[in-house]
């Protein structure tokens, strides 16, 4: 059975600065010889038909299986694959220990055989996002997004001719037209609406039972982010936004690689009647600060779902927006002035 990568041991090594790591990763995209050398002893995330490989951690937790590339090569050989499959590896980036990170889809191999060799399980990305709790979730999302993009962009949209990827997997080229294609993301606005004392959450029919989240929608051609936000809130819940403030952004792998831009928005406390467009949402309702605080403190666990409703995982930007609002919405402790 494959030995697990000892992250704690690697963390003890001398780490590089952010700038040097970024420059090293950028060099690997354009220097094929340096990339080949890095692949000999890099770190690898494995996927099987876009499902990431997870391993069990302590106390029933899960972690992404981060393997050493030389071990992956040995596994592939034992399972009857030749060395050419490793050339399908895609560069993800560089770890804090200056170790190159890659991903590889082994969908042509028998799933159970790979799982037995690696001591893990291939799990759908949607389910994996609720099982992973550490900072590895964004890396898994990036890996799946890049693998999916290469699988669905193998032909040039202008000529219909096959495209070829560069060794790092950072682009594809049509040799017939010379056009270069880069991985793309769809811009999406996600917004937490508040009336001052409550926040508005909605749920789509595709959500897991009981989960509510912030409102979100794709940007349309010609729109600004503010216009998209106002339009989506009006369409989905029939409310007019008054003020908007930016929070943060995040890559999100669903449905097919989105770039989420997070905002807070306010509506008038005098106009809070929700009118749900059921073609967009299954439900939407207001939640008090107390309800949100309880949901943030007691996320659902296996066999112990949260009462009433629950929130997206902590590494989702929706959870971040809700937590930010909760911090601001908490009433300040009343302090009685001292008298002399």
Residue 173: inside a domain, yes or no? no
Q: 16 and 144, same structural domain?
A: yes
Which of 133-137, 159-163, 304-308 is the least confident region? 304-308
Q: How far apart are CA 121 and CA 57, in angstroms?
A: 12
pLDDT band at 57 (very low <50, low <70, confident <90, very high): confident
Q: How far apart are CA 26 and CA 170, in angstroms?
A: 10
Structural domains in the chain (count) = 2
Kindly report, residue by residue over 10-28, the tens digit of the pLDDT.
333 444 589 999 999 999 9
266 Cβ contact partners less than 8 Å away, ≥ 6 residues apart: 193, 194, 195, 196, 241, 242, 243
Kindly report, residue by residue over 262-310, the tens digit of the pLDDT.
999 999 999 999 999 999 999 999 999 999 999 998 765 544 555 579 9
Domain that holds residue 131: 11-152
Residue 174: inside a domain, yes or no? no
Residue 295: inside a domain, yes or no? yes
User: Which pLDDT does position 305 carry in this prediction?
Assistant: 52
User: Which pLDDT does position 78 carry in this prediction?
Assistant: 94
Residue 340: inside a domain, yes or no? no
pLDDT band at 178 (very low <50, low <70, confident <90, very high): very high
Mean pLDDT computed over 103-118? 96
Pairing of strands 100-105, 43-48: parallel
pTM value? Answer: 0.86
**Residue 275: CATH number of its domain:** 3.90.79.10
Question: Is the pLDDT at 33 greater than 60, yes or no?
Answer: yes
Residue 82: inside a domain, yes or no? yes
pLDDT band at 2 (very low <50, low <70, confident <90, very high): very low
User: Which pLDDT does position 12 carry in this prediction?
Assistant: 35
Q: 148 and 25, same structural domain?
A: yes
CA-closest candidate to residue 144, choices 157, 168, 126: 126
Q: 268 and 142, same structural domain?
A: no
Identify which has the larger pLDDT, 295 or 3: 295
Percent of the chain's residues with pLDDT above 70: 89
* Residue length of the chain: 340
Residue 337: inside a domain, yes or no? no
Question: Is the pLDDT at 50 greater than 60, yes or no?
Answer: yes
Average pLDDT, whole number, for the chain? 89
Q: 197 and 97, same structural domain?
A: no
Residue 165: inside a domain, yes or no? no
User: Which pLDDT does position 326 carry in this prediction?
Assistant: 96
Q: 133 and 53, same structural domain?
A: yes
Boundary residue ending a domain (137, 152, 167): 152
Identify which has the larger pLDDT, 300 or 64: 64
Q: 280 and 209, same structural domain?
A: yes
Question: Is the pLDDT at 205 greater than 70, yes or no?
Answer: yes
Q: 282 and 229, same structural domain?
A: yes
Q: How far apart are CA 240 and CA 89, in angstroms?
A: 47
Residue 293: inside a domain, yes or no? yes
């Amino acid at each position: 059975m494959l030995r697990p990568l000892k992250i704690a041991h690697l963390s003890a090594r001398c780490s590089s600065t952010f700038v040097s790591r970024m420059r090293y990763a950028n060099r690997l995209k354009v220097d094929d010889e340096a990339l080949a050398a890095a692949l000999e002893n890099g770190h690898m995330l494995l996927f099987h038909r876009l499902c990431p490989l997870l391993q069990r951690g302590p106390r029933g937790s899960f972690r992404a299986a981060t393997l050493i590339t030389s071990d992956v090569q040995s596994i592939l050989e034992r399972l009857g694959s030749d060395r050419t499959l490793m050339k399908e590896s895609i560069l993800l980036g560089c770890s804090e220990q200056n170790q190159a990170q890659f991903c590889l889809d082994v969908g042509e191999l028998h799933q159970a055989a790979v799982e037995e060799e690696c001591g893990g399980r291939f799990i759908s990305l949607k389910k994996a996002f609720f099982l992973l709790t550490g900072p590895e979730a964004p890396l898994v999302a990036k890996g799946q997004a890049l693998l999916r993009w290469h699988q669905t962009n193998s032909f040039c949209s202008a000529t219909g001719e096959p495209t070829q990827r560069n060794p790092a997997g950072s682009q594809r080229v049509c040799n017939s037209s010379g056009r270069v294609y880069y991985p793309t993301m769809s811009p999406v606005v996600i917004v937490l609406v508040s009336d001052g004392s409550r926040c508005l959450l909605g749920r789509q029919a595709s959500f897991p039972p009981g989960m509510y989240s912030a409102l979100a929608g794709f940007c349309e051609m010609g729109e600004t982010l503010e216009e998209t936000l106002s339009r989506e809130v009006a369409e989905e819940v029939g409310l007019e936004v008054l003020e908007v403030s930016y929070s943060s952004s995040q890559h999100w792998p669903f449905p097919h690689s989105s770039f989420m831009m997070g905002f807070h928005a306010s509506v008038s406390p005098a106009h809070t009647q929700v009118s749900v467009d059921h073609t967009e949402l299954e439900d939407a309702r207001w939640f008090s600060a107390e309800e949100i605080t309880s949901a943030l403190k007691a996320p659902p666990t296996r066999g112990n779902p949260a009462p009433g409703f629950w929130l997206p995982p902590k590494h989702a930007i929706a959870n971040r927006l809700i937590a930010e609002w909760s911090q601001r919405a908490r009433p300040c402790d009343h302090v009685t002035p001292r008298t002399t």
